[in-house]
Amino acid sequence: MKAVVRKQYGGPEQLSVMEVPTPRAGPGTVLIQVRAFGLNRAELYMRRGDWGDVAVISGIECVGTVVEDGSGRLCSGQTVVAMMGGMGRSFAGSYAEYTAVPASNVLPIETSLDWDRLAALPEAYAVAWTCLHRNLAIEPGQRLVVRGGSASLGQAAIDIAAQLGAEVIATTRRPDRADSLRQLGAHQVLPAIGELAGAEGWPGKADAVLDLIGNTTLLDSMRATRRGGRVCLAGFLGGLAPLADFDPLSQMPSGVQLSFFGSFMFGQPGFELADVPMQQIVDLATTGQYQGRPARVFGLSDLPEAHRLMEANEAGGKLVVVV
């Protein structure tokens, strides 16, 4: 089969299409013919070696059809979405024509969406849904701040929260993307630089903050949240450096709840992928209630260019590869 293989850790030029053996479905795994997959910033970190030794074939999500199910649950030809469970980390991921994924990380889907539209949904919408419903427990009328609103995960969160009836405030470092964020459902779009409370037009403390920038903005996110409110850290757009000398006693506002969600937990006990209503998400995208769609579509051989766009923060949303 054809796959995009990382020759060594480094820049996008290290990614190259090669012929490699097709994987097999072992006990408890599903062999999927990959039809399309979304790209994620995590794959930049993997390519550079920032996350240690990982598989030479990256890709943490895909959509496609079942070739064989070693667990006996799914039928051949069935449409599925798959994500995480070690994809692209401990075993070859979705940058290929075929991938074998743990059955716990594969969900069957009924859909009329084209492959590129479907591939824009799994990781971004599953993570956004989990953060909003489980970590932040967003309710209609609550004020939600999405820091990093221009990212694919940020856009998914705005889309979902707007449908829930939340008052959504998005931040972005790209003022030229403010209109598109408002079209997704953001009530206000603020610049990503500086403190939230100091931004022009800041309406007051938030009920919840979804922080996708990471440790560089986390303390400010907590200060911008009301007593009893919640902050969820779910991204590191601002870099992977840890929060130095963090002292909860002096730096955490009393009564603000802080949590973290990492999508690498999907499929683990207590984080079953079936907890995410993926069929409902796909259905809402099909009817146009969710606006998720690819910002750009590439082929396998175009992956280096797609990585360059992500690295330069020029993606503008979810990048998708059709195989």
Map out the domains of the chain with their CATH numbers: 2-120+265-322 (3.90.180.10), 125-261 (3.40.50.720)
Identity of the amino acid at 106: V
In this predicted model, what pLDDT tens digit does every residue of 18-35 receive, in sequence order?
999 999 999 999 999 999
| Res 193: pLDDT | 84
- The amino acid occupying position 319 is L
What pLDDT, on a 0 to 100 scale, did the predictor assign at position 146? Answer: 98
pLDDT score of 239: 87
pLDDT of residue 257: 97
For residue 76, with 0-12 CB atoms within 10 Å meaning exposed, 13-18 middle and 19 or more buried, which class applies?
exposed
Q: Which SS3 state, helix, strand or coil, does residue 291 take?
A: coil
pLDDT for residue 127: 98
What is the pTM assigned to this prediction? Answer: 0.96
Contacts of residue 255, Cβ cutoff 8 Å, sequence gap at least 6: 227, 228, 229
Q: What is the CA radius of gyration of the chain?
A: 19
pLDDT of residue 192: 86
pLDDT for res 148: 95
Residue 198's pLDDT is what?
87
Q: Report pLDDT for 20.
A: 98
pLDDT of residue 269: 94
Neighbouring-strand partners of residue 157: none
**Whole-number Å distance between alpha carbons of 145 and 168:** 6
Taking the CB of residue 112, how many other CB atoms lie within 10 A of it? 8
Query: Which parts of the chain sit beneath pLDDT 50?
Result: none
Pairing, β 79-83 against β 143-147: unpaired
Contact in structure between 144 and 207 (CB atoms under 8 Å): yes
- Count the alpha carbons within 13 Å of 175 in the hemisphere toward its beta carbon: 2
